[in-house]
Structure 1
Amino acid sequence: MTTYIMLINWTEQGVKNVRESPKRLDAAKKQLGEMGGSFKEFYLTMGDYDMVAVCDAPDDAVAARFALSLGSGGNVRTRTLKAFPEAAYREIINSLG
């Protein structure tokens, strides 16, 4: 399972319907679960992004499909970062020679 960090902003439509946001989050969690992934953490944030989610997905294709599906609803826009855990980070750095 690969970890992805999703930086999320509401669109104008999404913020107009902000009271429905918890229901949309529940639907997103269910959808990602059906795709073989899961939400590890979710935060409402202040600053450049409205929300941050830490998710696991089986592969990049699933993560991409999930992000596209979220965006197609018109309520949010996402930026997705593939995250390498510390062990992988150390392995990558050590492979530099």
Structure 2
Amino acid sequence: MTTYILLMNWTEQGARNIRESPKRLDAAKKQLANMGGSFKAFYLTMGEYDMVAIIEAPDDAVLARFALMLATGGSVKTRTLKAFPEFAYREIVTSLG
């Protein structure tokens, strides 16, 4: 599984319907599980982003479909970061020679 970090902001629509946000999160978790992925962590944040999620998905295509599905709901805008675990970081840096 590949790890991704989703940085999310509510849209105006999402902010207007903030009380429904927990239900939308539950639905998103189910959607991702049906696609073979999972939420590893979810945070409400202060600052530039409203929410941050740590997600695992089988591959980039699955995560792209999931992010597009979130966007079509109209409640959040996302930025996706592909995350490399420490062992991969060490391999990458070591491969530099």
- TM exceeding 0.5: yes
Q: Which residue of 2 aligns with 1:43?
A: 43
Letter in 2 for 1:34: N
Q: Which residue of 2 aligns with 1:53?
A: 53
TM-score with structure 2 length normalisation? 1.00
Shift of 1:56: 0.1
> Aligned partners of 2:62 and 2:88: how far apart in 1?
21
> Any idea what the Cα deviations from partners look like across 1:13-63, whole Å, max 9, x if unmatched?
000000000000000000000000000000000000000000000000000
Q: Give me the CA root mean square deviation.
A: 0.2
Q: What does residue range 1-97 of structure 1 map to in structure 2 within 5 Å? A: 1-97=1-97
SS of residue matched to 1:3: strand
The number of aligned residues is: 97
> Aligned partners of 2:80 and 2:45: how far apart in 1?
16
> Aligned partners of 2:34 and 2:68: how far apart in 1?
15
> Aligned partners of 2:79 and 2:95: how far apart in 1?
28
Q: Which runs of 5+ in 2 are unaligned?
A: none
Q: Which runs of 5+ in 1 are unaligned?
A: none
> Any idea what the Cα deviations from partners look like across 1:47-86, whole Å, max 9, x if unmatched?
0000000000000000000000001100000000000000
TM-score with structure 1 length normalisation? 1.00
Segments ≥4 residues shifted beyond 6 Å: none
